[in-house]
Chain A
Amino acid sequence: MKRFSSSALAHGLLWQLIGTLFGAGLITGIRAIMGLELTAKFFFTEPAWVLGGFIGAISFLFGSGVTSDWVKWARGIDTPEHHEEHYSGWEKFVNVSLDHKVIGIQYTIVALALICIGGTFAMIFRTELAASQLQFLTTDLNLFGQNGPQIYNTLMSLHGMIMIVSILLGISGIINYVVPLLLGAQDMAFPRLNAFSFWIAVPAAVLLLSSLVLGGFDTGWTGYPPLSSRAPVGVQMFFMGVFVAGWSSILGSLNVIVTVLRMRAKGMNAMRMPIFVWAAIATSIIAMTATQFIGLAFQLVLFQRLLGMGFFDPAKGGNPVLFQHLFWFYSHPAVYVFILPGLGVISELLPVFVRKPLFGYRWIAMSSLGIALVGFVVWAHHMFTSGMNEYLRVPFMYSTLLVAIPTGVKFFSWVATIWQGKITTPTPMLFVLGGIIVFLLGGLSGPPNATVSTDLHLHDTYFIVGHFHDTIFGGFVFPFFAALYYWFPKATGRRMNETLGKIHFWLMTPSFLIMTFGMMYVGLLGMRRRIVDYDPALGLDTSHLVLTICGFGIAISVAIFLYNFFNSIKNGEKAEGNLWNSRSPEWQVPSPMPMHNYDQPFEVVGEPYDYGLEGSQYVKFSSAPAKSKHK
């Protein structure tokens, strides 16, 4: 316990609390001088909470010590390029480390924690929806100053944003751990910035969750005004949480791009990079730039609430549709941020398990970039019913449908790769195949939403909910699990239990498919999104009950996974060699990966995915040990 209380995490959280109280106290003091009200429903007034939340997040960063090297540099004090590792075991992960592998695991653990929290929220409101009428989230309930339906709204909204943040952290986890290994680099280009990008996500998660106890918010994850300009103070914490998490995403992606541009092994030209690196680049381009727009949009609402600036308030001459433009300019490309790394994982692992070259390497690489670039000009398909100018509808319909082309390229390439392959199906491969199937369903249910004539009917129904769960599970969740099963031995030197892994897969996949088909089904029959109750006369009770049961099926399967994951760290079967018989450089050295990655540098001498071609070689390790490059 003492070892935890002296960790960077504990210090950071303590300082976040102190900073929050200080900021809130400061505003309260100023209000006292100005003779304004000092307290509100949730103790502090809204401006006090906002400044407190902001100063709290900054205090976390200074308190955890992740900025201490920068402070030293600013004062003209030099620091060693790499720090010595003081910690071992779990302590490594609650303290600041500059090692990209540790940071990758930190990201992954926080992502899994947030998946559990977001999933629990989903289970709560899914249970409420199992039958029509209000079951336990009734109007008599009073929790955190909210009645049952209000709690439902908050949980439903938070489920969305918590899951989004968890996905962003999950992809950062995989990218951070894997990309420098694939490139043959010792670390990311900016190790301190890398640590900063991770640690800033922790106060962001705290801010997001604090909205639950500060009155919640009833806007959905989109936070549209005018709803969000009237919601309780919780919505401000939600805005700040997203804003701070956005910086994690922006700075992390910047680091990835620079790392790929500058730190590749000798001989690794653009067309010999592992395909996952292309996906990481494509996703980083979007995350680094477009994220600023959601940050700006939320910031404007934050100021609108605090200072009465009427950006989005029609009563003050503002334009609520402008918010939607700014918001979706990030939030649609964001779904490509979520799925591109996952599709990259599929392309990366598929050749390993079918023992064949990846079909159409160049096309897959370019299709990732294509999705990223087209993704910038499709945002308004979320707004066909918003009252925006009608002449915008058709161009955005076509640009959206255009996304199907590079995505189709990926599917054809995967099918051609599997064709006549020697397929083996250990757990990671199961999740790869599951991911392909589920993402296909997500892809096929997309065009009806992009087409104006059908979208006008489907908008805001459960059909949309089914569609995007398909895309996110196929594009992120399945490949994420595949990646965890696949690279787990690299990180720990042990493998996860195969039987439990297969139970995880065979429980999750059917549950998930029935759930999303069911969502689309009830959506077509008139079930609306984001509502706590529905009319029994719709006749959807049975369907909703099935949906809820399947939801719990997924939850149980994830619980099995978590048990497997944490149990295998200590008790898993040893797997120190090239477990999957991969050509990739990280598998040519023993697991777990040594501290500074490769003892000997390698050179790229062939194509990355020439599985099954005799005499082909991808990387060649030089026999001379690497020069010691550390102070």
Chain B
Amino acid sequence: MSHTQDKSSALGQGVVVFVYLAILSVLEYFVAVAFDATSILIVVAVVKAALVMYYFMHIYKLNEESDGDEHSYAYKTGTNRIGLWLFLLSDGFVFAGLLVMRSNLLGLTRPPLNQLLGLGVTSVLLISSFFMNRGETALAYGDVKAFMRNTMITFILGLGFLLGVVLVEWRLAAHEGLIASFGNPAVGPVGAVFYMMTGMHAFHVLTGLIFLAVVWNNARKGLYTAEKHYPAEAAAVYWHFVDLVWIFFYPALYLIGKAIAI
């Protein structure tokens, strides 16, 4: 693997991108609280998504030339990358479908949710993406220990997000009456939409956690080197994809429109 930059600047880039993402997230939150500006929220989400896709998911690697030998690790990695991105494209259609459903059924209204909790779990997921990127960068420079450490932090944060949504947010929402509203035409299917969207995302977080555990364990066994670690890269890209989805789901559920009173 050829490096165009040294390790510390690669890690530094991760910090800078993370700071941008954090600023945008805070901006997004205050825009939503202060004005009713759906279009700004969409623009911010698209910018965040672009940052994640380029700097964390390294979409440009799809363009990387690999030598002609079809049986080299580098060539196969190139093939695997295309396969994974096509899978993410396909999976993206599920979430796009859910967003279509949300906008059709709820329009410019949203579920009554705890704003601070929403911001909290969003931050946890974003920070986990930062550590994931740090770990992957370290592995690209052959630092398996740092990869394991950062992956462990990512895993714990990811688990925190999952438990935060399923155990805390779902309960609070149920307490707010979102489950009871399943059958209430006056409120509309807001509860159903909320549980479906967060549930589908949580399922992907869960699978991401399983992948992280697998690559952590295989890194522990010493299976990854600076040159050969595609499974670790794939797990990282998948983890960032889960974050990418949340970049759109968070404003769709928490920020856009007026909260429905139940």
Query: Roughly how many angstroms separate A318 CA and B183 CA in the complex, as a whole number?
Result: 10
Would you call B217 an interface residue if the criterion is a C-beta within 8 Å of the partner chain's C-beta atoms?
yes
Q: Contact partner of A322 among B78, B104, B182, B187, CB < 8 A?
A: B104
Residues of chain B lying within 8 A (CB to CB) of residue A322: 101, 104-105
Query: Roughly how many angstroms separate A254 CA and B80 CA in the complex, as a whole number?
Result: 11
Q: Contact partner of A290 among B75, B93, B101, B196, CB < 8 A?
A: B93
Interface window among A100-108, A309-317, A444-452: A309-317
Contact across chains for A316 and B182 when beta carbons are under 8 A apart: yes
Task: Knowing A317-B185, A629-B71, say if A292 contacts B196 (CB, 8 Å).
Answer: no
Would you call B54 an interface residue if the criterion is a C-beta within 8 Å of the partner chain's C-beta atoms?
no
Query: Roughly how many angstroms separate A313 CA and B193 CA in the complex, as a whole number?
Result: 13
Contact across chains for A293 and B192 when beta carbons are under 8 A apart: no
- Which chain B residues numbered 198 to 248 have a C-beta less than 8 Å away from chain A? 214, 217-218, 221, 223, 231
Task: Knowing A262-B82, A310-B183, A317-B188, say if A300 contacts B221 (CB, 8 Å).
Answer: no
Q: Which residue of B lies closest to A627 (CB)?
A: B71
Contact across chains for B82 and A311 when beta carbons are under 8 A apart: no
Residues of chain B lying within 8 A (CB to CB) of residue A315: 185
Query: Roughly how many angstroms separate A193 CA and B87 CA in the complex, as a whole number?
Result: 12
Would you call A497 an interface residue if the criterion is a C-beta within 8 Å of the partner chain's C-beta atoms?
no
Residues of chain B lying within 8 A (CB to CB) of residue A89: none
- Which chain B residues numbered 241 to 258 have a C-beta less than 8 Å away from chain A? none
Contact with A along B87-99 (1 / 0, CB 8 A): 1011101100110
Contact across chains for A326 and B97 when beta carbons are under 8 A apart: yes
Contact across chains for B87 and A309 when beta carbons are under 8 A apart: no
Which of B70, B91, B97 is packed against the most chain A CB atoms within 10 Å? B97
Query: Roughly how many angstroms separate A309 CA and B101 CA in the complex, as a whole number?
Result: 13
Contact across chains for B83 and A311 when beta carbons are under 8 A apart: no
Contact with A along B59-100 (1 / 0, CB 8 A): 000000000001100010011001100110111011001101
Contact across chains for A326 and B86 when beta carbons are under 8 A apart: no
Q: Tally of A-B residue pairs with Cβ under 8 A?
A: 110
- Which chain A residues numbered 310 to 352 have a C-beta less than 8 Å away from chain B? 310-311, 313-319, 322, 325-326, 329
Residues of chain A lying within 8 A (CB to CB) of residue B82: 257-258, 261-262
Query: Roughly how many angstroms separate A292 CA and B94 CA in the complex, as a whole number?
Result: 6
Contact with A along B156-189 (1 / 0, CB 8 A): 0000000000000000000000000011111111
Would you call B195 an interface residue if the criterion is a C-beta within 8 Å of the partner chain's C-beta atoms?
yes
Query: Roughly how many angstroms separate A262 CA and B91 CA in the complex, as a whole number?
Result: 22
Q: Contact partner of B189 among A189, A293, A295, A310, CB < 8 A?
A: A310
Would you call A575 an interface residue if the criterion is a C-beta within 8 Å of the partner chain's C-beta atoms?
no
Task: Knowing A295-B94, A309-B196, A318-B189, say if A326 contacts B183 (CB, 8 Å).
Answer: no
Q: Contact partner of A310 among B70, B71, B182, CB < 8 A?
A: B182
Contact across chains for B217 and A254 when beta carbons are under 8 A apart: no
Contact across chains for B91 and A292 when beta carbons are under 8 A apart: yes
Residues of chain B lying within 8 A (CB to CB) of residue A329: 97
Contact across chains for B192 and A254 when beta carbons are under 8 A apart: no
Would you call A289 an interface residue if the criterion is a C-beta within 8 Å of the partner chain's C-beta atoms?
yes
Contact across chains for A296 and B189 when beta carbons are under 8 A apart: no
- State the main secondary structure of chain A at its contact with B: helix
Q: How far is the CB of A171 from chain B (nearest CB, A)?
A: 18
Contact across chains for B101 and A311 when beta carbons are under 8 A apart: yes
Residues of chain B lying within 8 A (CB to CB) of residue A297: 97
Query: Roughly how many angstroms separate A264 CA and B182 CA in the complex, as a whole number?
Result: 53
Query: Roughly how many angstroms separate A326 CA and B89 CA in the complex, as a whole number?
Result: 17
Contact across chains for B94 and A296 when beta carbons are under 8 A apart: yes
Task: Knowing A254-B86, A311-B192, say if A317 contacts B187 (CB, 8 Å).
Answer: yes
Contact with B along A343-374 (1 / 0, CB 8 A): 00000000000000000000000000000000
Contact across chains for A258 and B86 when beta carbons are under 8 A apart: yes
Q: How far is the CB of B235 from chain A (nearest CB, A)?
A: 11
- Which chain A residues numbered 568 to 586 have a C-beta less than 8 Å away from chain B? none
Q: How far is the CB of B91 from chain A (nearest CB, A)?
A: 7
Would you call A42 an interface residue if the criterion is a C-beta within 8 Å of the partner chain's C-beta atoms?
no
Would you call A263 an interface residue if the criterion is a C-beta within 8 Å of the partner chain's C-beta atoms?
yes
Interface size on A, residues (CB 8 A): 43
Task: Knowing A74-B214, A300-B101, A322-B101, say if A289 contacts B89 (CB, 8 Å).
Answer: yes
Contact across chains for B86 and A288 when beta carbons are under 8 A apart: yes
Query: Roughly how many angstroms separate A313 CA and B223 CA in the complex, as a whole number?
Result: 52
Q: Which residue of A lies closest to B222 (CB)?
A: A76
Q: Which residue of B lies closest to A257 (CB)?
A: B86
Contact across chains for A296 and B98 when beta carbons are under 8 A apart: yes
Query: Roughly how many angstroms separate A291 CA and B94 CA in the complex, as a whole number?
Result: 9
Q: How far is the CB of A245 from chain B (nearest CB, A)?
A: 15
Q: How far is the CB of A544 from chain B (nearest CB, A)?
A: 40
Residues of chain A lying within 8 A (CB to CB) of residue B231: 73
Task: Knowing A292-B91, A296-B94, say if A319 contacts B182 (CB, 8 Å).
Answer: no
Residues of chain B lying within 8 A (CB to CB) of residue A325: 100, 104
Contact across chains for A288 and B83 when beta carbons are under 8 A apart: no
Query: Roughly how many angstroms separate A190 CA and B191 CA in the complex, as a whole number?
Result: 41
- Which chain B residues numbered 20 to 40 have a C-beta less than 8 Å away from chain A? none
Query: Roughly how many angstroms separate A297 CA and B83 CA in the complex, as a whole number?
Result: 25
Would you call A395 an interface residue if the criterion is a C-beta within 8 Å of the partner chain's C-beta atoms?
no
Contact across chains for B182 and A262 when beta carbons are under 8 A apart: no
Contact across chains for A307 and B221 when beta carbons are under 8 A apart: no
Contact across chains for A311 and B217 when beta carbons are under 8 A apart: no
Q: How far is the CB of B230 from chain A (nearest CB, A)?
A: 11
Task: Knowing A293-B93, A316-B183, say if A262 contacts B223 (CB, 8 Å).
Answer: no
Contact with B along A257-298 (1 / 0, CB 8 A): 110011100000000000000000000000011111101110
Residues of chain B lying within 8 A (CB to CB) of residue A326: 97, 100-101
Contact across chains for A317 and B189 when beta carbons are under 8 A apart: yes
Residues of chain B lying within 8 A (CB to CB) of residue A290: 93
Contact across chains for A76 and B223 when beta carbons are under 8 A apart: yes
Q: Contact partner of A309 among B75, B192, B221, CB < 8 A?
A: B192
Query: Roughly how many angstroms separate A261 CA and B217 CA in the complex, as a whole number?
Result: 33
Q: How far is the CB of B36 from chain A (nearest CB, A)?
A: 23
Contact across chains for A189 and B195 when beta carbons are under 8 A apart: no
Q: How far is the CB of A410 from chain B (nearest CB, A)?
A: 26
Residues of chain A lying within 8 A (CB to CB) of residue B188: 316-318
Would you call A8 an interface residue if the criterion is a C-beta within 8 Å of the partner chain's C-beta atoms?
no
Contact across chains for B93 and A292 when beta carbons are under 8 A apart: yes
Which 5 pairs show the lowest CB-CB distances between chains A and B? A309-B192, A317-B188, A292-B93, A296-B97, A76-B218
What are 10 A-to-B residue pairs whose CB atoms are below 8 Å? A76-B217, A254-B86, A262-B79, A288-B86, A291-B90, A311-B105, A315-B185, A316-B188, A316-B189, A317-B185
Instruction: Give the interface of A toward B (CB within 8 A).
Output: 73-74, 76, 189-190, 193, 250, 254-255, 257-258, 261-263, 288-293, 295-297, 300, 303-304, 307-311, 313-319, 322, 325-326, 329, 629
Given A295-B94, A317-B105, 13 more A-B residue pairs with CB atoms under 8 Å apart are A189-B83, A190-B83, A258-B79, A258-B86, A292-B90, A292-B93, A309-B191, A309-B196, A310-B182, A311-B101, A311-B105, A311-B196, A322-B105
